Amino acid sequence: MTKVAITGAAGRMGRTLVAVINEAGDLSLAAAIERPGAPELGQDIGDLAGIGQLGVLVTDDLEGVIDRFDVLIDFTVASATAVNVSICHEHGKPMVIGTTGLSDEHKEAIKRAAGKIAIAFAPNYSIGVNVLFKLAEIAATILGDDVDIEITEAHHRHKVDAPSGTALGLGEVIARALGRDLAEIAVHGRVGVTGERDRRQVGFHSIRAGDIVGDHTVMFAGPGERIELTHRAQSRANFAQGAIRAASWIAARDPGLFDMQDVLGLRD
C-alpha cells in the first residue's frame, strides 16, 4: 500500500484529499503538513476533514515525518512548494505537485529535482480537464490558423493567481500544436482601442466570483462557425481523485518529470 503525505492538508483541497484517500483501497494517509503557525497544528486531520479521527496529527515539520510516507502530494503556494521540492529531492521522495502560480525559477527547480526523483506536475488533476487538454490539442491541430482562439476561466473569489494554471496549460497545449511560443502570442484581457485582432493570438480572460470551483472554456472561432470546448468542475473531489491516481502511478516510476497526460496514457 502506498503511504501518502499531504501538504496544505487543512485547506479546502487538502481536506478533500484526506477524505478521498481514506476511501481508497491502495493508499493510506501517513502524514498531514501545514504552514508554521497554522491554527490546525496538533489536531487530528480526520476530524478537520469531517471523517472522524485517523490518528494523523497535523504538523509543520515535513522533514520530521519524511520516513513515514512514500509520496508527497503538494497543493500549496509557490514559496512552500519550492521548499518542499528541495526537501523531497534531498530525501528521494516522489511528489505530486498541483500548486499553481509558480515562477519560471520554481519550474526550473522542479525540473532539476526530477533528475533524482519522480515528479507528477500538472496544472489540473481532473481527469475531465485532461481530456479537455487532449481535445483542445486535436482541435488546434485540425483548425490551425483559420480560427481565433480565446480561453475563458472562472474561479472562486479566494483564488489568488490569474489566469489559472489550467488556462495557461490549455494555452501551452494549443501553442505547441500550432508551433507557436505562448509567451509571444498570449493576450490577457482587452480594454480600450485595441485594434483588429491578430489571428495568431491566444486570448485569456479570468473571472473571480463567489464559490465557483472552476470553469474553463476554449473557443475556436472561424468564419461562420465556432467550436467551444468547456469543462465545469462541480466539486474538488474530481481533482482529488486525479491526484491520488497520480500518486499511485508516480510511486512506481523512475526519476523524471511527468504530467496527467502521462498518468492517463494520453501522451502520443
Active-site residue list? 155, 159
162-173 in b/e form (b: 16+ CB < 10 A) is bbbbbbbbbbbb
Q: Report the Cα 222 to chain-centroid distance in Å.
A: 30
| Nearest 10 degrees: Cα torsion 77, 79, 82, 88 | -70
The amino acid at residue 198 is D
Among the listed residues 117, 46, 130, the one whose alpha carbon sits nearest the alpha carbon of residue 85: 117
Q: How would you class 85 by CB atoms within 10 Å of its CB: exposed for 0-12, middle for 13-18, buried for 19 or more?
A: buried
Q: CB atoms < 10 A from the CB of 242, how many?
A: 25
Among the listed residues 15, 17, 61, the one whose alpha carbon sits nearest the alpha carbon of residue 35: 61
Q: Report the Cα 143 to chain-centroid distance in Å.
A: 27
